[in-house]
């Protein structure tokens, strides 16, 4: 399993993060039992073989840039992740390197669904995948999202 080191478990048994190499290895993903894929990269085309072997494959075109408003995709991404969780599935959220866009989506998901603060969700994901590095714009948007969740 030469690629397993590139997949990080966020919430066992259903939520994982990784990079785009997995999109090119459908057999490997099947061996690992993934039922859902959420691709949040802008330049990675969906793998046709992979699409037909899963319960759900969703490609959300998101740019990793300092002026991209990734929050437009939060609700759609959360629905895909929720579907995996509610159907006892196993989802891989990936972007190009598994560092910025996918990490941002997962951090926002944990903030929304687990009622975690931005700082706790960031720490939690970072403790499971040390190389996450959301860009400064995404960090700002996560901070704003945290403020809007209005936790008591």
* CATH classification of the domain holding 133: 3.90.190.10
Our CA dihedral for 72, 50, 91, 41, rounded to 10 degrees, sits at -30
| Residues 24-56 pLDDT 10s | 677 788 888 999 999 999 877 666 666 667 889
Per the prediction, the chain carries an average pLDDT of 90
Decide which of 112 and 45 is more confident: 112
Mean pLDDT check: name the lowest of 48-57, 74-83, 113-122, 142-151: 48-57
* 39: nearest Cα among 27, 50, 53, 28: 50
User: Is 152 inside a domain boundary?
Assistant: no
Banded model confidence at residue 3, pLDDT cuts 50, 70, 90: very low
Return the pLDDT at 121: 98
User: Is 66 inside a domain boundary?
Assistant: yes
Return the pLDDT at 1: 37
Write out the residue range of the structural domain in which residue 12 sits: 4-147
Q: How many domains does the chain have?
A: 1
- Please tell me which residue in 45, 49, 95, 152 is annotated as part of the active site: 95
pLDDT greater than 70 at residue 23: no
DSSP letter at 102 equals H
> Is the pTM above the cut of 0.75?
yes
Annotation says 95 is catalytic: yes
User: Is 65 inside a domain boundary?
Assistant: yes
User: Is 8 inside a domain boundary?
Assistant: yes
């Amino acid at each position: 399993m030469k690629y397993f080191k590139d997949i990080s478990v966020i919430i066992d048994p259903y939520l994982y993060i990784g990079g785009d190499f997995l999109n090119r290895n459908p057999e490997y993903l099947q061996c690992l039992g993934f039922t859902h894929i959420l691709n949040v990269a802008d330049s990675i085309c969906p793998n046709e073989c992979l699409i037909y072997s899963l319960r759900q494959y969703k490609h959300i075109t998101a740019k990793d840039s300092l002026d991209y408003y990734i929050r437009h995709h939060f609700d759609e991404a959360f629905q895909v992740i929720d579907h995996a969780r509610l159907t006892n599935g196993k989802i891989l959220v990936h972007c190009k390197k598994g560092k910025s866009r996918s990490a941002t989506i997962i951090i926002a998901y944990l903030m929304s669904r687990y009622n975690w603060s931005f700082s706790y969700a960031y720490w939690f994901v970072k403790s499971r995948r040390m190389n996450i590095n959301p860009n400064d714009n995404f960090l700002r948007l996560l901070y704003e999202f945290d403020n809007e969740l209005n936790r008591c």
